[in-house]
Structure 1
Amino acid sequence: MYKPVFMKREVLVFRQFKRKGYSLFACLGREVIISVLSVATLSSAKADSISDEVWRVDSARVQREVWLDDVGVTGSRAPLAQSQAARMVTVLSREDIQAAPVQSVNDLLKLAVGIDVRQRGAIGAQTDISVRGGTQEQVAILLNGINICDPQTAHNVMELPVELSEIVRIEVLEGPASRAYGTSSLLGAINIVTRAQPRTDEKRQLVDAQQGRALVASADVGLEGGSFGYGKASFVANVTSSSASVFSHQLSGSYKRSDGFSRSQAGGLNTDFSGSKAFYQGLFDSDAVSCSWYAGIADKGWGSSTFYASPKWQADDQYEHVTKVMASVQGENKRGALHLRPALYWNLHKDRYEGYRDKPEKMKFNYNLCNVYGASLNSYLDWTLGRTAFGGEMRREELLSGNLGEPLAHNHHIGGTDRDYTRGIGRTNTSLHLEHNILLKRLVVSAGVVASKSTQSDMSWRFYPGIDVSYKLGNGVKIFAGYNSSMRLPSFTEMYYKLQGYAADPHLKPEEMKALDLGVKYDSEMLESKVSFYHHQGSHLIDWIMDISKGKQAEWKSVNFTRINSYGFEASVLLNAAKAFPSQRFLRSFKVAYNFMEQDKKEYENIVSQYALEYLKHKFTAQCDLNLSKKLDMNIYYRWQNRVGGYTTFDGSYESYKPYGIVDARLSWAQSSHCSFYAEANNLLNTSYVDYGNVPQPGISAVVGMRFKM
């Protein structure tokens, strides 16, 4: 998994120096090449926002190149290096992504022990993501630091326009993350990072480019096929020019489809899907400024089986079609004590839901069109007493719908149909943030506050403070402690959805969360381990509940719970076997992780919860990376989880969620640097399980694929 890149030359390039403890890292937002770098130096130079293993180098080898990329840590507004990080961040690196037996970001996140991934369909057809016992609405999903959450509903937020092969890393921040990502991150944030940059071997060519070669171009083509009629074709093309500055463009696209793993009672397709996506991103990087931008589209339709069925409404041939468009531009100056990082973005979410597939006469199709516009400014200043960050964001959220929101004064036509949008709602959310970081040799203190206001219900300004502290004990040991608070506005679906079996409340209050965290981390060449404890206190938490005593007449209702306390701990150990046992090459690494959680929620007789009161009490994951031969690798993953709560079956009886274990594996064969083949198997034990009641998941499945580089 971790392959050093060899060079025939020694190169040492630094282009920025300051009289600060973080001077080295201040210059790493741009090209930095370090050769013949010792392991001791490298271990102290890595950043939390990059997987530690990615840059670990065998000390027995020399003359290699290590290309260090963006080192900003997502635990704070101000970018800090690992030596200053005051909060732990979980990172899935590019190597983790390439080795995993997954076909989507949704599936990939299952491997993180602190994330609860609840699927309704296979291969990411529809997935809800949450952390620490929360709901899918309580986690902010970001693309390159831009919030792409849909205020209509979080069910479809993971329909991303990017390919797995484009992702540099995925950063997971557990617990309230308002100081880093705004108040929508009630219980955490997941930042998906891409960048229009060349691959590792092409970076060597860029060094040559500065000696007369000015252009580097490449293209990757991938093909996949597997169980249930699954097929996918994709490509990624990159062009980079380099002289005094770097100008890079990257374009990707894909199409995938499947017949699905089940059929409706009438014999029709009900878990099939098909869709395409395209994504363009650019980068300009010079000594003075850096600027990046992207634009993408994802279009997908899928059979929704019994996704939203209830005892009262047992439809098993639902269907949904979603189109998402995303665009953003961001910049930053590199000179001077004051750094300005402005951003503009636009997200469009278009959805068509069919309660009965292709039968509008039986139940009218529900159409929604959501536009989100935003502008933000994140600035930070270095001065004698540390690093201070300040800025703000204004975000406009507008929804046109067939059944969500208030009646419109003037209807809007729905393109391609004979119907109009008759309802809608809009709100403007404004936030301001201020944060200061005190950076000492062993002690780091990061404290700040977010002030938020929304036009929804004439909400006045509310303030959410937070503080994180870290202290180095020496010998690779570091302790963390923090207190953070945050808020989340209800989604438009939670406020207005009133169709078969559902009754929403338009007067829902915003959710609020307070959290305490304490953890310790140990890091060495051979062993990495961490353990963290947390306590969350939630107020006015939103959930859908049902009174099962009403039988088939029961409805799901959106409500504010008064208060829920959550307690838990998370622990993980990673053994770098290649370092611990250098005489063998078979076992590369082995990792185990466990998360435990308990909620002291009040029990209500005959009341079942759809989200907030259903959480993972136990989750255990294990990962083993093997090198079977010079060109053949195997990666084996196991996860076991036990969920609290239950659901009402279609016959009206109550069923508790049962624990289950899943084994996934991947074989990869690198024929050359230009060609690779792989085979993946999911649910090898053919386990029967559900993540949501009355929505069964597929058994064993397989995918084979190949990638060609040109």
Structure 2
Amino acid sequence: MIRIKQTAVLALLCSVATCSAASGDANEKNIDIEKITVAGAATANKEPVGTFVSLVSNLEYDPRVDLQSRNMAEAQADVTIRGGIFENTGFRVGSATLLDPQTGHYFSEIPIAPEMLSKANVFTGVDNGLYGVNSSVGTVSFGWQPIKTAGSVSLGAGNNNFNLRRIHTGISVPLDNAKDWIIGFEGEYSFSESDGTIDNGDHDFNRTSGRVQLVGPSSQTDLFIGSQDKFFGWPNMYTPFNVNETEDLSTQLLMLNHKQNYGIDSTFEISAYTRTHKDHYVYSRDNPEAFQAFHETEVKSVGFSGRHAQTESFALNYSAQFIEDSIESTTLENNFTSREYYKASVLPEYQMSLNDEQQLKFRLGAAFDDTNRDDSDVSLIADITWISFNSDDLSQTISLSYAEASQVAGYTAIGGSDSGGLFRSNYSLERETTKNLELGLTLDGLSWSFDSAIFYRKDNDLTDWTYSLSSTSARSANPVDIDTLGFEVLAIKRFADAEIITSYTFLDKSEDYGTVDIDASFYALNYPDHRLTLGAIWHPSDIVEIRVDNEWRKQQENILRNGDQDALFTHLTLKVSPSQIPGLDIILAVDNLWGESFEEIPGTPGRGEQYTVTVTYHW
């Protein structure tokens, strides 16, 4: 590939002053403008097809991220942002990033019912540098929602012997003799199973979660406990040797979160959790003794973040987190088996009004990352944002930002054998660093919005998993330097009885592995050169709703991929809510409508069609 020159990129940035990677205001402060890096109606559908809803459901149609799945998204989801890889993406709940030290494949194993959390905020650039922990490219962040007195029960069936059962309920009541204090209780149980959309692609999932919540005049406290068990199979799940592999995962999470508002436009939040994750991997379900591995990880963490408004024009944004992890493994005991992580970041903010309709905001700060086993790193984060409001209710935001971030490799990459086995580690891996420059534009009207961003990112010593035709190992961890040029645009138009959501993403990479003994990349070079999404929500009548999401992509060529390098996926839902029975929904849904067999991960078969019918009663 032709190496991207920084001078050319800077010239391009200057020539597209109408594009902005708006660094979202994570605290929803002052001006509520939807941005590409902030939660919005990025997809038409909310529920998955083929299992119960999870935090990653329908992200494969979200233009802000690229989800590469094995079996289906809710089975094993590699969530990548802006051409990064799965281990560059963090998942944050409250003020704490939920880490799995073994591998980023399990970052999204979070046993929380989505009703309990806000929509996903996708942080990149400065906001990721401020809030992300050990996630150098992006962070998917969620906040705890107030509990409502409501609930639902669902039963579902479909092809491939699909079976779904789910119940969710919440109750919120005022406390006696305590003015403006409310206590809430919420719980859910979800179960699904099927034979799978292809042979040996079966699954058996269940999740139980609950929380207690105390809400005061200026605070919210949540105590959560959740457990999730997942068994699923897939041919060539991780290896290209034509075997039927299986995973058996069990995840438990206990979390305490407190958020406090004070003063004028000031807030802080503290989160603490303990998470255990067990993994039983079988290389061949037909011959389990050929190779299998057991891993158990434990993570304990406390994190806090906030915004202190000193004056109307000056505020201090801050975040910090401590993580302690450990692993017990049958195959990852050749190096270290525990680690401690430290992250602290500060981002002073200054705002000034140019006139009644224009505002300028400056943010300049730094982040410090360290562990007890790796070198530390200091990262610069800065942006400048110009916001204008017009008399015709149109707002414009133009921003320029520069952000650095860093992370260390997981135990699968650095803690196993470097000379044999299916997954070969690399003991010489160093701290990964990222530098991101971006520019763009956000336009917001009464019934439409337009977001665009152009960015240039340099990843140094990124840990990738590669394949060599001369090696007997399925994957080897190797460092790579990559320059990425990207452009993304998201447009939303709302009508009286419909909404249209469309996006386009372009990525171009140049890579340097420092060696010629690499024939293919499973992750870092598995990205779409061009990607289009088109979603729509239509209400043809009071009782009928139609939702559709489409994604077309042209993937970078890879010698391990079987079949075409382009694909078209469609998720279609028809919901009927008969007026005779208030609260009843009958939902017909299909995923992969055209039977696309595209391999989202090279050498791993793509998913097949799934048709379901679900009956849900809400109260």
Distance in 2 of aligned mates of 1:76 and 1:589: 25
Aligned residue for 2:58, secondary structure, equals helix
What is the match of residue 150 of structure 2? 218
Amino acid at match of 1:168: S
- Alpha-carbon distance change, 155 to 131 in structure 1, aligned in 2, over 3 angstroms: same
Which of 197, 206, 211 matches 1:261? Answer: 197
Partner of 1:590, secondary structure, is strand
What SS does the corresponding residue of 1:110 show, helix, strand or coil?
helix
Give the alignment of 1:138-149 within 5 angstroms: 138-149=88-99
1:285 to 196, 215, 225: 215
Question: Which residue of the other structure, out of 181, 184, 188, is the alignment partner of 2:131?
Answer: 181
User: Which residue of the partner structure matches residue 668 of structure 1?
Assistant: 575
| SS class of match (1:361) | helix
Shift in CA distance, 97/322, structure 1 to aligned 2, threshold 3 Å: same
Return the letter of the residue paired with 2:506: F
What CA distance in whole angstroms lies between the structure 1 residues aligned with 2:173 and 2:559?
Answer: 56
SS in 1 for 2:160: helix
The one-letter amino acid of 1:663's match is T
**Identity over aligned pairs, percent:** 16
* 1:440 CA displacement: 2.4
User: How far 1:674 moved relative to its partner?
Assistant: 1.7
Match of 1:153 among 103, 109, 113: 103
Please list the CA deviations of residues 301-333 of structure 1 after superposition, one character each: whole Å capped at 9, or x if unmatched.
1113211223xxx25222111111112112233
Residue 93 of structure 1 and its aligned partner are, at CA, apart by 5.3
TM-score of the two chains, using structure 2 as the length reference:
0.87
Shift of residue 556, structure 1, vs aligned partner: 2.5
Which residue matches 1:487?
A: 406
d(CA) in 2 for partners of 1:701 and 1:482? 42
Say whether residues 1:373 and 2:309 are aligned partners. no
Mind listing any 5+ residue stretches in structure 1 that lack a counterpart?
1-72, 199-216, 264-269, 408-423, 579-584, 650-654
Indicate the SS of the match to 2:565. Answer: coil
Shift of 1:142: 2.0
Aligned residue for 1:247, secondary structure, equals strand
CA distance in 2, matches of 1:248, 1:258: 34
The aligned runs of 1:71-220 (5 Å cut-off) are 75=24, 79-81=27-29, 83=31, 88-92=36-40, 96=44, 98=46, 103=51, 104=53, 105-122=55-72, 124-175=74-125, 177-198=127-148, 217-220=149-152
Structure scoring higher RCO (CA < 8 A, sep ≥ 6) equals 2
AA aligned opposite 1:632:
V
In structure 2, the residue matched to 1:473 is 388
Aligned to 2:542: 630
Please say if residues 128 and 139 of structure 2, whose CA atoms lie closer than 8 Å, have aligned partners that are also in contact.
no
Distance apart, 1:176 and its partner CA: 6.2
- Note the alpha carbon deviations across 1:236-268, whole angstroms, 9 max, x for none: 1111012521211111111111111233xxxxx
State the structure with more CA Rg. 1
User: 1:94: Cα distance to partner?
Assistant: 11
Structure 2 equivalent of residue 463 of structure 1: 378
- Go from structure 1 to structure 2 and tell me whether the alpha carbon gap of 1:429 and 1:668 turns closer, same or farther (over 3 Å shift): same
Q: CA deviation at 1:101?
A: 6.0
Q: Cα distance 1:332–1:144, how it changes in 2: closer, same or farther (>3 A)?
A: closer
What SS does structure 2 have at the residue aligned with 1:186?
coil
Secondary structure of the 1:494 match is: helix
SS in 1 for 2:154: strand
Task: Sort the Cα spacing of 1:283 and 1:97 in 2 relative to 1 into closer, same or farther, 3 A.
Answer: farther
Distance between the aligned counterparts of 2:94 and 2:43, measured in 1?
18
Do residues 450 (structure 1) and 367 (structure 2) align?
yes
Tell me the alpha carbon deviations over residues 130-173 of structure 1, each in whole angstroms, 9 at most, x when there is no partner: 01111100000123443123110111332332334444311112
Give distance in 2, aligned partners of 1:358 and 1:144.
Answer: 43
Counterpart selection for 1:343 from 250, 263, 271: 271
Q: CA deviation at 1:362?
A: 3.1
TM superposition shift of 1:559: 1.1
TM-superposed CA distance for 1:191, in Å, is: 1.6
| Counterpart in the other structure of 2:526 | 614
1:405 aligns with 2:333: yes
After superposition, the Cα gap between the structure-2 partners of 1:97 and 1:194, relative to the gap in structure 1 and judged at 3 Å, is farther
Paired with 1:93 and 1:573, the residues of 2 have a C-alpha distance of 10
CA distance in 1, matches of 2:138, 2:56: 16
Distance change in 2, residues 1:336/1:634 (3 Å): closer
Separation (CA, whole Å) in 1 of partners of 2:71 and 2:164? 17
User: Which one of 413, 424, 428 corresponds to residue 503 of structure 1?
Assistant: 424
Structure-2 change in CA distance of 1:231 and 1:193 (3 Å):
farther
Would you say how many aligned residue pairs link Structure 1 and Structure 2? 575
Matched, 1:701 2:618: no
Change (3 A) 1:347 1:74: farther
Cα deviation for residue 502 of structure 1 reads 2.8
Cα deviation for residue 235 of structure 1 reads 0.8
Q: 2: CA distance between counterparts of 1:503 and 1:76?
A: 41
Which structure's residues are more often helix, by fraction? 1
- Residues 605 and 356 of structure 1: CA distance in aligned 2, closer, same or farther (over 3 Å): closer
Q: After the TM superposition, which residues 281-360 of structure 1 pair with which residues of structure 2 at under 5 Å, given as runs?
A: 281-310=211-240, 314-336=241-263, 339-357=267-285, 359-360=287-288
The answer on whether the counterparts of 1:86 and 1:470 sit within 8 Å (CA) in structure 2 is no
Query: For each residue in 1:9-68, what CA deviation from the matched residue of structure 2 results, as whole angstroms up to 9, or x when unmatched?
Result: xxxxxxxxxxxxxxxxxxxxxxxxxxxxxxxxxxxxxxxxxxxxxxxxxxxxxxxxxxxx
1:685 Cα shift?
A: 1.6
Please report the RMSD computed on the Cα atoms of aligned residues, expressed in angstroms.
2.6
